[in-house]
Structure 1
Amino acid sequence: MAVVVGFIPTDVGFKALAAAREQAERRGGPLIVVNVVRDGVTSDPRHANDQQLEIARDQLRQAAVRVEMRQDHTDDDIADVLLRVVTEEKAELLVLGIRRQNDLARHLLGLTVQKLLLAAPCEVLVV
Protein backbone atom coordinates (compact mmCIF):
# COMPACT_ATOMS: atom_id res chain seq x y z
CA MET A 1 0.00 0.00 0.00
CA ALA A 2 1.14 3.51 -0.78
CA VAL A 3 2.70 5.91 1.67
CA VAL A 4 2.47 9.64 0.97
CA VAL A 5 4.78 12.13 2.64
CA GLY A 6 4.23 15.87 2.62
CA PHE A 7 7.81 17.03 2.13
CA ILE A 8 9.27 20.37 3.15
CA PRO A 9 13.03 21.00 2.80
CA THR A 10 13.85 21.41 6.50
CA ASP A 11 15.52 19.19 9.08
CA VAL A 12 12.15 17.90 10.24
CA GLY A 13 11.08 17.45 6.62
CA PHE A 14 14.06 15.19 5.95
CA LYS A 15 13.28 13.25 9.16
CA ALA A 16 9.72 12.78 7.90
CA LEU A 17 11.14 11.59 4.58
CA ALA A 18 13.25 8.96 6.37
CA ALA A 19 10.27 7.82 8.44
CA ALA A 20 8.10 7.62 5.32
CA ARG A 21 10.73 5.51 3.54
CA GLU A 22 10.86 3.12 6.48
CA GLN A 23 7.07 2.85 6.56
CA ALA A 24 6.82 2.35 2.79
CA GLU A 25 9.41 -0.42 2.89
CA ARG A 26 7.63 -2.08 5.81
CA ARG A 27 4.26 -1.87 4.02
CA GLY A 28 5.54 -2.79 0.55
CA GLY A 29 5.42 0.71 -0.97
CA PRO A 30 5.27 2.72 -3.12
CA LEU A 31 6.44 5.99 -1.56
CA ILE A 32 4.95 9.18 -2.98
CA VAL A 33 6.87 12.33 -1.98
CA VAL A 34 4.88 15.54 -2.43
CA ASN A 35 6.23 19.08 -2.12
CA VAL A 36 3.42 21.59 -2.50
CA VAL A 37 4.28 24.94 -4.07
CA ARG A 38 1.81 27.74 -3.63
CA ASP A 39 1.57 29.73 -6.84
CA GLY A 40 2.14 33.43 -6.41
CA VAL A 41 4.16 32.93 -3.19
CA THR A 42 7.82 33.37 -4.10
CA SER A 43 9.67 33.15 -0.80
CA ASP A 44 8.04 30.27 1.08
CA PRO A 45 10.64 28.10 2.86
CA ARG A 46 8.36 25.09 2.35
CA HIS A 47 8.98 25.21 -1.41
CA ALA A 48 11.81 22.86 -2.36
CA ASN A 49 14.28 24.06 -4.96
CA ASP A 50 16.05 21.75 -7.42
CA GLN A 51 19.04 21.22 -5.13
CA GLN A 52 16.82 20.30 -2.15
CA LEU A 53 14.81 17.90 -4.30
CA GLU A 54 18.05 16.26 -5.44
CA ILE A 55 19.16 15.82 -1.80
CA ALA A 56 15.80 14.15 -1.10
CA ARG A 57 16.24 11.89 -4.15
CA ASP A 58 19.72 10.93 -2.90
CA GLN A 59 18.28 10.06 0.51
CA LEU A 60 15.77 7.74 -1.17
CA ARG A 61 17.95 6.32 -3.95
CA GLN A 62 18.51 2.97 -2.19
CA ALA A 63 14.87 2.54 -1.14
CA ALA A 64 13.52 -0.98 -1.53
CA VAL A 65 10.26 0.38 -2.98
CA ARG A 66 9.27 2.52 -5.94
CA VAL A 67 9.64 6.23 -5.15
CA GLU A 68 7.77 8.99 -6.94
CA MET A 69 8.78 12.61 -6.36
CA ARG A 70 6.13 15.23 -7.10
CA GLN A 71 6.11 18.97 -6.83
CA ASP A 72 2.48 20.02 -7.09
CA HIS A 73 1.67 23.66 -7.80
CA THR A 74 -1.53 25.13 -6.44
CA ASP A 75 -3.27 28.30 -5.47
CA ASP A 76 -5.43 26.11 -3.24
CA ASP A 77 -4.98 24.94 0.33
CA ILE A 78 -1.89 22.78 0.94
CA ALA A 79 -3.93 20.29 2.96
CA ASP A 80 -6.39 19.88 0.10
CA VAL A 81 -3.56 19.01 -2.28
CA LEU A 82 -2.18 16.36 0.07
CA LEU A 83 -5.66 14.94 0.70
CA ARG A 84 -6.20 14.69 -3.06
CA VAL A 85 -2.92 12.80 -3.53
CA VAL A 86 -3.74 10.45 -0.63
CA THR A 87 -7.11 9.71 -2.20
CA GLU A 88 -5.77 9.29 -5.75
CA GLU A 89 -3.02 6.95 -4.58
CA LYS A 90 -5.31 5.07 -2.18
CA ALA A 91 -2.62 5.65 0.43
CA GLU A 92 -2.53 3.63 3.59
CA LEU A 93 -0.44 6.25 5.43
CA LEU A 94 0.25 9.97 5.28
CA VAL A 95 3.50 11.13 6.90
CA LEU A 96 3.95 14.74 8.04
CA GLY A 97 6.86 16.54 9.65
CA ILE A 98 6.00 19.37 11.99
CA ARG A 99 8.23 22.01 13.47
CA ARG A 100 8.36 21.93 17.21
CA GLN A 101 7.97 25.62 17.85
CA ASN A 102 6.36 25.92 21.20
CA ASP A 103 3.61 28.34 22.12
CA LEU A 104 1.60 25.21 22.83
CA ALA A 105 2.84 23.72 19.57
CA ARG A 106 1.68 26.77 17.66
CA HIS A 107 -1.84 26.65 19.05
CA LEU A 108 -2.09 22.89 18.83
CA LEU A 109 -0.27 22.17 15.62
CA GLY A 110 -1.45 24.60 12.95
CA LEU A 111 -4.35 24.68 10.57
CA THR A 112 -2.84 22.54 7.81
CA VAL A 113 -1.84 19.72 10.16
CA GLN A 114 -5.17 19.91 12.02
CA LYS A 115 -7.09 19.63 8.77
CA LEU A 116 -4.99 16.67 7.63
CA LEU A 117 -5.36 14.86 10.95
CA LEU A 118 -9.13 15.30 10.90
CA ALA A 119 -9.83 14.70 7.20
CA ALA A 120 -7.28 12.11 6.05
CA PRO A 121 -8.94 8.88 4.93
CA CYS A 122 -5.91 6.92 6.18
CA GLU A 123 -3.56 6.71 9.12
CA VAL A 124 -1.39 9.80 9.74
CA LEU A 125 2.12 9.65 11.19
CA VAL A 126 3.42 12.94 12.55
CA VAL A 127 7.22 13.17 12.89
Structure 2
Amino acid sequence: MTILVAYVARPEGRAALDKGIEIATRRNEALVVVNAGPGGRDSHDGVVDGYEGERVADRLAALPVPAEFKHFVRGRGTVEEIEELVDTLPASLVVIGLRRRSPVGKLLLGSTAQEILLGVNCPVLAVKAD
Protein backbone atom coordinates (compact mmCIF):
# COMPACT_ATOMS: atom_id res chain seq x y z
CA MET A 1 0.00 0.00 0.00
CA THR A 2 1.01 3.61 -0.47
CA ILE A 3 0.60 6.87 1.41
CA LEU A 4 -0.25 9.68 -1.01
CA VAL A 5 0.53 13.30 -0.11
CA ALA A 6 -1.14 16.13 -2.03
CA TYR A 7 1.65 18.71 -2.02
CA VAL A 8 1.50 22.45 -2.63
CA ALA A 9 4.39 24.87 -2.27
CA ARG A 10 2.93 26.57 0.80
CA PRO A 11 3.02 25.97 4.58
CA GLU A 12 0.01 23.66 4.47
CA GLY A 13 1.71 21.55 1.79
CA ARG A 14 4.85 21.25 3.88
CA ALA A 15 2.73 20.21 6.89
CA ALA A 16 1.08 17.49 4.76
CA LEU A 17 4.51 16.33 3.56
CA ASP A 18 5.85 16.13 7.12
CA LYS A 19 2.85 14.10 8.28
CA GLY A 20 2.96 11.83 5.23
CA ILE A 21 6.64 11.08 5.82
CA GLU A 22 5.94 10.35 9.49
CA ILE A 23 3.08 7.94 8.72
CA ALA A 24 4.79 6.18 5.80
CA THR A 25 7.93 5.63 7.88
CA ARG A 26 5.98 4.37 10.89
CA ARG A 27 3.83 2.01 8.77
CA ASN A 28 6.72 1.03 6.49
CA GLU A 29 4.63 1.94 3.43
CA ALA A 30 5.67 3.53 0.17
CA LEU A 31 5.17 7.28 -0.15
CA VAL A 32 4.10 9.20 -3.24
CA VAL A 33 4.08 12.98 -3.11
CA VAL A 34 2.09 14.60 -5.90
CA ASN A 35 1.93 18.20 -7.04
CA ALA A 36 -0.52 18.86 -9.84
CA GLY A 37 -2.23 21.68 -11.64
CA PRO A 38 -3.67 22.42 -15.04
CA GLY A 39 -0.82 24.70 -16.13
CA GLY A 40 -0.98 27.66 -18.47
CA ARG A 41 -3.20 30.57 -17.49
CA ASP A 42 -5.02 28.36 -15.00
CA SER A 43 -1.86 27.61 -13.02
CA HIS A 44 -1.87 28.54 -9.34
CA ASP A 45 0.74 29.39 -6.73
CA GLY A 46 0.73 25.84 -5.32
CA VAL A 47 2.42 24.37 -8.40
CA VAL A 48 6.08 23.86 -7.60
CA ASP A 49 9.01 25.21 -9.55
CA GLY A 50 12.16 23.24 -10.35
CA TYR A 51 14.00 24.19 -7.15
CA GLU A 52 11.10 23.31 -4.86
CA GLY A 53 10.60 20.00 -6.67
CA GLU A 54 14.28 19.15 -6.25
CA ARG A 55 14.09 19.94 -2.53
CA VAL A 56 11.14 17.58 -2.09
CA ALA A 57 12.78 14.84 -4.19
CA ASP A 58 16.03 15.12 -2.21
CA ARG A 59 14.14 14.83 1.06
CA LEU A 60 12.31 11.74 -0.19
CA ALA A 61 15.54 10.11 -1.38
CA ALA A 62 16.82 10.07 2.21
CA LEU A 63 13.83 8.12 3.57
CA PRO A 64 14.01 4.48 4.69
CA VAL A 65 10.86 3.66 2.64
CA PRO A 66 10.31 3.79 -1.13
CA ALA A 67 9.28 7.34 -2.01
CA GLU A 68 8.82 9.40 -5.14
CA PHE A 69 7.74 12.86 -6.19
CA LYS A 70 5.28 13.23 -9.08
CA HIS A 71 4.70 16.60 -10.70
CA PHE A 72 1.86 16.91 -13.19
CA VAL A 73 1.05 19.96 -15.29
CA ARG A 74 -0.84 18.46 -18.17
CA GLY A 75 -4.18 20.20 -18.38
CA ARG A 76 -5.98 18.19 -15.72
CA GLY A 77 -7.05 19.47 -12.34
CA THR A 78 -5.42 18.58 -9.04
CA VAL A 79 -8.40 16.55 -7.86
CA GLU A 80 -8.53 14.48 -11.06
CA GLU A 81 -4.83 13.60 -10.76
CA ILE A 82 -5.17 12.60 -7.12
CA GLU A 83 -8.31 10.53 -7.69
CA GLU A 84 -6.57 8.61 -10.46
CA LEU A 85 -3.48 7.96 -8.34
CA VAL A 86 -5.57 6.78 -5.39
CA ASP A 87 -7.12 4.13 -7.62
CA THR A 88 -3.98 3.05 -9.49
CA LEU A 89 -1.41 2.91 -6.67
CA PRO A 90 -3.54 1.78 -4.60
CA ALA A 91 -3.39 4.32 -1.77
CA SER A 92 -4.16 3.43 1.83
CA LEU A 93 -4.30 7.09 2.89
CA VAL A 94 -4.26 10.57 1.34
CA VAL A 95 -2.71 13.39 3.36
CA ILE A 96 -3.72 16.96 2.54
CA GLY A 97 -2.92 20.32 4.08
CA LEU A 98 -5.56 22.85 5.01
CA ARG A 99 -5.45 26.61 5.28
CA ARG A 100 -7.85 29.00 6.88
CA ARG A 101 -10.32 30.64 4.52
CA SER A 102 -13.33 32.81 5.15
CA PRO A 103 -16.77 31.36 4.40
CA VAL A 104 -17.10 33.75 1.46
CA GLY A 105 -13.68 32.68 0.16
CA LYS A 106 -14.78 29.05 0.26
CA LEU A 107 -18.00 29.86 -1.54
CA LEU A 108 -16.37 31.89 -4.32
CA LEU A 109 -13.27 29.80 -4.91
CA GLY A 110 -14.46 26.30 -4.07
CA SER A 111 -12.24 23.98 -2.09
CA THR A 112 -9.80 21.48 -3.54
CA ALA A 113 -9.49 19.94 -0.07
CA GLN A 114 -13.26 19.44 0.13
CA GLU A 115 -13.34 17.83 -3.32
CA ILE A 116 -10.56 15.44 -2.30
CA LEU A 117 -12.25 14.62 1.02
CA LEU A 118 -15.51 13.79 -0.73
CA GLY A 119 -14.15 12.26 -3.92
CA VAL A 120 -11.37 9.77 -3.17
CA ASN A 121 -11.93 6.11 -2.34
CA CYS A 122 -9.71 5.88 0.72
CA PRO A 123 -9.27 7.61 4.08
CA VAL A 124 -8.09 11.24 3.98
CA LEU A 125 -6.10 12.92 6.74
CA ALA A 126 -6.26 16.72 6.75
CA VAL A 127 -3.50 18.59 8.61
CA LYS A 128 -2.96 22.27 9.36
CA ALA A 129 0.30 24.17 9.15
CA ASP A 130 1.75 25.50 12.41
Q: TM-score range by the shorter chain?
A: 0.7 to 0.9
| Per-residue deviation, 1:126 | 0.7
What residue in structure 1 maps to residue 9 of structure 2? 9
Q: Which residue of 1 aligns with 2:63?
A: 63
2:28 and 2:85 map into 1 onto residues whose CA distance is 18
Structure 2 partner of 1:107: 106
Q: TM-score, normalised by structure 2?
A: 0.85
* Deviation, structure 1 residue 13: 0.9
Name the counterpart of 1:74: 74
CA separation of 1:106 and 1:27: change in aligned 2, threshold 3 A? farther
After superposition, the C-alpha distances for 1:12-67 in whole angstroms (9 at most, x for unaligned) are 21111010111111222210011103132375211101100122123333312111
- TM (norm. structure 1) is 0.87
Give the aligned partner of residue 89 of structure 1: 89
Q: 1:105 Cα shift?
A: 8.7
Residue 44 of structure 2 corresponds to: 44
Q: Does the 8 A contact of 2:36 with 2:77 survive in 1?
A: no
**Alignment partner, residue 24 of structure 1:** 24
Against the structure 1 CA distance between its residues 94 and 105, is the aligned structure 2 distance closer, same or farther, given a 3 Å change threshold? Answer: farther
Q: 1:63 to 1:18 in 2, by over 3 A?
A: same
Letter in 1 for 2:52: Q
Gaps of 5+ in 2: none
Change (3 A) 1:42 1:117: closer
Instruction: Output the amino acid matched with 2:114.
Output: Q
Give the secondary structure class of the aligned counterpart of 1:122: coil
Q: Measured at CA, do residues 35 and 120 of structure 1 come closer, stay the same or move farther in structure 2, by a change above 3 Å?
A: same
CA contact (8 A) 1:14 1:56 kept: no
Quick one: distance in 2 between partners of 1:105 and 1:99?
14
Cα displacement (A) at 1:2: 0.2
In structure 1, distance between residues paired with 2:22 and 2:104: 26
Cα deviation 1:73-127 (Å, max 9, x = unaligned): 23222211110011110100001112223x1494389432111111211110111
Structure 1: tracts of 5 or more residues without a match: none
Question: Given residue 5 of structure 1, which amino acid in structure 2 is its aligned partner?
Answer: V
